[in-house]
Amino acid sequence: MSKKGLFFNSECRALIIGSTGAIGSAIVEILKNKIGSENVVTISRRKNGLDFMKPETIELRAKEQNGYFNFILDATGALEISNVGPEKSLRSLDHERMVNQFTVNAIGPAMLIKHFMKFLPRNGKAVFASLSARVGSVEDNQLGGWISYRASKAALNQIIKTASIEASRINPHSVFISIHPGTVRSKLTEQYLRNHKFVEPSEAARNILQVIEQKGSQDTGGFYAFDGKRIPY
């Protein structure tokens, strides 16, 4: 198929933050094939020291970048932090645990937007996508539990929605979206998969890139699943 008209073509430059994660690294591999290795820039905690627990590292990494990125993906996130897993009940709520969850899953991505959105072009399709989670949907919450993780992902969705409005004033073709990747085999899920159906990171990565290819400015601010369907906030 001709690459003409596709968002992911040889003129697209992409920045993947959280490129060491299962989903982030699978996306990097596919993108290198689609748009060329020279057009894919990666940042992570492990390789570049971008750590949401040390907010100054976010601005430092941004200052090292040059040029533009048509596509910025935030593939970071955590369910267990410092070996502490998600809460099962209100009784186990803990101040520090909640602060950490919000720091990694909501405040960190918000700071990414603050420091990296200036690299998005002011003309044409320009995408900032963040990996969220269906459990962050308030309307879809059937089971309860995982309070901090759920709430931090709900906050992330609100941050993306709010940012999308400001970004549209700068570039009416910008697309700011949150994406639920599905249940994917990764370090984040290894303790929790049990009898759940899951996909490999490569499949999740293909799905996510297809969603990005398909979405346009009319979809900005939305929360979407790996199949492109809208998830209620």
Question: By the criterion CB under 6 A, which residues form the site for ligand NAP?
Answer: 18, 20-24, 44-46, 50-53, 75-78, 104, 108, 131, 133, 180-181, 183-184, 186-189
User: Residue 3 Cβ, how far from ligand NAP at the closest point, in Å?
Assistant: 27
**Closer of 10 and 191 to ligand NAP (Cβ):** 191
Task: Give the separation between CA 167 and CA 184, rounded to whole angstroms.
Answer: 30
User: Residue 15 Cβ, how far from ligand NAP at the closest point, in Å?
Assistant: 14
**Closer of 30 and 217 to ligand NAP (Cβ):** 30
Distances 128 to 38, 75, 86, 94, 141 between C-alpha atoms, Å = 20, 11, 27, 32, 26
**Closer of 217 and 233 to ligand NAP (Cβ):** 233
User: Residue 138 Cβ, how far from ligand NAP at the closest point, in Å?
Assistant: 16
Task: Pick the closest to residue 175 from 70, 68, 76, 105 (CA basis).
Answer: 70
Can you read off the two tokens belonging to residue 60?
Answer: 């430092």
Can you read off the two tokens belonging to residue 193?
Answer: 């998969």
Following DSSP, what letter does each residue of 131-149 receive, concatenated? E--GGG-STT--S---HHH
Residue with the shortest CB distance to ligand NAP: 77
**Closer of 104 and 129 to ligand NAP (Cβ):** 104
Identity (one letter) of the amino acid at 65? Q
**Closer of 171 and 231 to ligand NAP (Cβ):** 231
User: Residue 155 Cβ, how far from ligand NAP at the closest point, in Å?
Assistant: 13
Distances 35 to 11, 20, 21, 226 between C-alpha atoms, Å = 7, 19, 20, 21
CB 149 within 8 A of CB 93: no
- 3-class secondary structure, 107: helix
User: Residue 185 Cβ, how far from ligand NAP at the closest point, in Å?
Assistant: 7
CB 132 within 8 A of CB 223: yes
User: Residue 30 Cβ, how far from ligand NAP at the closest point, in Å?
Assistant: 14
Task: Give the separation between CA 151 and CA 27, rounded to whole angstroms.
Answer: 26
**Closer of 50 and 110 to ligand NAP (Cβ):** 50
User: Residue 9 Cβ, how far from ligand NAP at the closest point, in Å?
Assistant: 26
Q: Which helix (H) or strand (E) holds 25?
A: helix 22-35
